[in-house]
Amino acid sequence: MRILVVNVNTTESITQAIARSAQSVAAPGTEIVGLTPYFGADSIEGNFESYLAAIAVMDRVMSYDQPFDAVIQAGYGEHGREGLQELLNVPVVDITDAAASTAMFLGHAYSVVTTLDRTVPLIEDRLKLSGLWDRCASVRASGLAVLELEHEPQRALEAIVHQAELAVTQDKAEVICLGCGGMAGLDEQIRQRTGVPVIDGVTAAVTIAESLVRLGLSTSKVRTYATPRPKNIIGWPQKFMR
């Protein structure tokens, strides 16, 4: 089974970290292919960048010329998953949904700890649209930008742990979701520090994607995610013009 794990930003080192994290939980026989979009921002922290990433991720997946069994969109709270679901016949799993869905099996309420405060409303809105909001205790910002997670890992860890602790004590979260693809790999340390289950959306998404493939399930094509109708599409990206 081959699963494409697509980063939403253009920072190659983050793609590699995500792919490593994904591979670490993949079942024997599952091949993880990490993909970096051909265009877009080096980190996604807002709507403009997120919309651009939506197209960039679709472009990168449609440009991939080998067979694959599932796609993971590895950005937390980003736009675009619905477009991929229309374009593809294989399952598409967004790490936002994967983490929240997994968290709900483990506790009565969960919180998300993300990067900058400005991204909180995007995450909240994506969770609402996915129908996974009811048991969300809070979405909290660590105050660190995506790239700071990379460059200052210890400071990032402390900031995330601090917000996770507030989520547990004040917001009554019983599970923490790491709210950024770039946090992949931090889950174990934060779990030790907070005493509650911590979910990395990337690894959760790998097991969900594998499960859907094993169960022979894929995106319903009857209405919302039906294949796009034939259209005249002008300009770029060329990959979409068929």
Q: Which of residues 19-78 bind its own copies (CB under 8 A)?
A: 25, 27, 38-43, 45-52, 54-56, 58
Q: Determine the interface stretch with its own copies among 14-22, 100-108, 149-157, 158-166 (rule: CB under 8 A).
A: 100-108
Phi, psi of 77, deg, nearest 5: 80, 20
Nearer to its own copies, 160 or 199 (CB): 199
Q: Does 179 bind its own copies (CB under 8 A)?
A: no
Helix (H) or strand (E) holding 214: helix 201-214
d(CA 53, CA 68): 21
What's the min distance (Å) between Cβ of 44 and its own copies?
A: 9
Q: Amino acid identity of 81?
A: R
Q: Does 235 bind its own copies (CB under 8 A)?
A: yes
Taken as a whole, the chain contains a residue count of 242
Closest to 140 (Cα-Cα) out of 132, 154, 161, 38:
161
Nearer to its own copies, 31 or 195 (CB): 195
What's the min distance (Å) between Cβ of 129 and its own copies?
A: 5
Among the listed residues 87, 144, 149, 180, the single contact to its own copies using CB under 8 A: 87
Q: Determine the interface stretch with its own copies among 13-21, 103-111, 149-157, 178-186 (rule: CB under 8 A).
A: 103-111
> Considering CB under 8 A, how many residues would be counted as binding its own copies?
90
Neighbouring CB atoms inside 10 A of 35's CB total 21
Nearer to its own copies, 91 or 179 (CB): 91
CB 106 within 8 A of CB 175: yes
What's the min distance (Å) between Cβ of 58 and its own copies?
A: 7
d(CA 164, CA 173): 9
CB 4 within 8 A of CB 70: yes
Sheet containing strand 31-35, edge to edge, reads 31-35, 2-7, 70-74, 92-94
What's the min distance (Å) between Cβ of 66 and its own copies?
A: 21
Q: Determine the interface stretch with its own copies among 14-22, 79-87, 149-157, 177-185 (rule: CB under 8 A).
A: 79-87
Interface positions, 148-177, toward its own copies (CB under 8 A): 168, 172, 174-175
